[in-house]
Structure 1
Amino acid sequence: MPYAVAYVTTLVTFLAVDAVWLMTMSQRLYRRYLGDILVESFNPPPAALFYLIYIAGIIIFATAPAFSTGKWTTAALNGALYGFFAYATYDLTNQATIRGWPTIITVADICWGSLLSAVAATVGFLLTRYFLRGA
């Protein structure tokens, strides 16, 4: 039960915070630097699959260890590390294989992924603990 609650709370947190980022930075950063290679319209199925898989990773690598220690700081640190490694893998691979991939995108994405994952893991952990204490 705690993992199901953690999954939902983490997913909702991640989606809400990432939506703000994407609405704010989509034109300023991504369209500006990646305009020629971006699709014209958003493709929901791969995005949904990413979110579902990625949140499972946060639960496995950040939230489960936080449940073991009972500390939100474990969720925050492990979430940040998970985000750092995942986003670095994506962006550095793109930088190595896609002509003209901008370094500013790589740096911004890695920082964002680290922060977003830390926040989602922490809020998901804290909300799960809050909801399950009352149960």
Structure 2
Amino acid sequence: MGLSKYTSDIHYIEQNQEVVFNFLSNFENLSQYVNESLLEQVTKQVPQIKVSDFESDADSCRFNISGLGEAEIRIVEREPHKTIKVTSSGKLPMEFTFWIQLLPVTPYQTKMKLTLHAEMGMMIKMMVGNKLEKGVNQLAEMLTKLPYR
């Protein structure tokens, strides 16, 4: 297994840093956006993986991956208004740590960058490595469009 790092471009969210942090640091806020349509898009990106049965609470989300079983991602660290650290557990084909980094630009604009460190075997990396790189940027873009309140 080898460690790979994927970093998003810097994206801007037209909202206060504290509001963005409070929203993203609670997975219950994201559950309304993870629906069957989004799960189908994931399957189209990586046809070998079908994700279903998504559920979440404030600190974690759980879902099933066809052929592997239940997987979970969990928020393990929150540095108020700056960083959210997430790790994987369960039966994912790789282990990862994921950071959401936030910095204020103005009182109503926040700069965001996502970083993914994934520990995976060579075969998994060959199958999904370039998709992870693209996916980190797509996730960052999606996060800029959420209705932060």
Q: TM-score, normalised by structure 2?
A: 0.43
Q: Which has the larger radius of gyration?
A: 1
Structure richer in helix, relative to its length: 1
Higher relative contact order (CA 8 A, sep 6+): 1
Q: TM-score, normalised by structure 1?
A: 0.46
